[in-house]
Amino acid sequence: MVIRRVQDSTQEFEQEVEEVVRMGRYTEGGKRPMKVKMRSQVAVEEIMTRKGKLADDVDHKEIWIEKGMNLEEREKEKALRGEAKEKK
């Protein structure tokens, strides 16, 4: 699991995983995002601070981790991306 790549040797983040759900529709050969629900906020914060380790890992270079957003946050980010595209 990818979580092993971002934890240090003293941590056991796999024990903190509560639920894993694949998002979107299945397409053969396609890639789908996964939603991972953790038991504790501490584990989430530790994973988010160490997610940069994946960039150095050749096997997991294409994997990215983002914090979940509610509808309002997603709409705000979408508007900001639209503004950025207009400025280019």
DSSP letter for 16, please.
G
Instruction: Give bridge partners of residue 37 from the DSSP assignment.
Output: 19
- What distance in Å separates the CA atoms of residue 6 and residue 64, rounded to the nearest whole number? 12
Is the CB of residue 43 less than 8 Å from the CB of residue 34? no
Q: Does residue 83 have a pLDDT over 70?
A: yes
| pLDDT for res 35 | 87
| pLDDT for res 50 | 80
Q: Where are the domains of the chain?
A: 3-87
Between 7 and 44, residue with greater pLDDT:
44
Q: Does residue 57 have a pLDDT over 80?
A: no
Residue 10 confidence class, pLDDT cut points 50, 70, 90? low
Lowest mean pLDDT among 4-13, 16-25, 51-60, 75-84: 4-13
Residue 76's alpha-carbon distances to 24, 35, 64, 71, 82, in angstroms, are 22, 21, 21, 9, 10
DSSP letter for 35, please.
E
Mean pLDDT of 35-53: 85
Mean pLDDT of 4-30: 78
Is the CB of residue 46 less than 8 Å from the CB of residue 13? yes
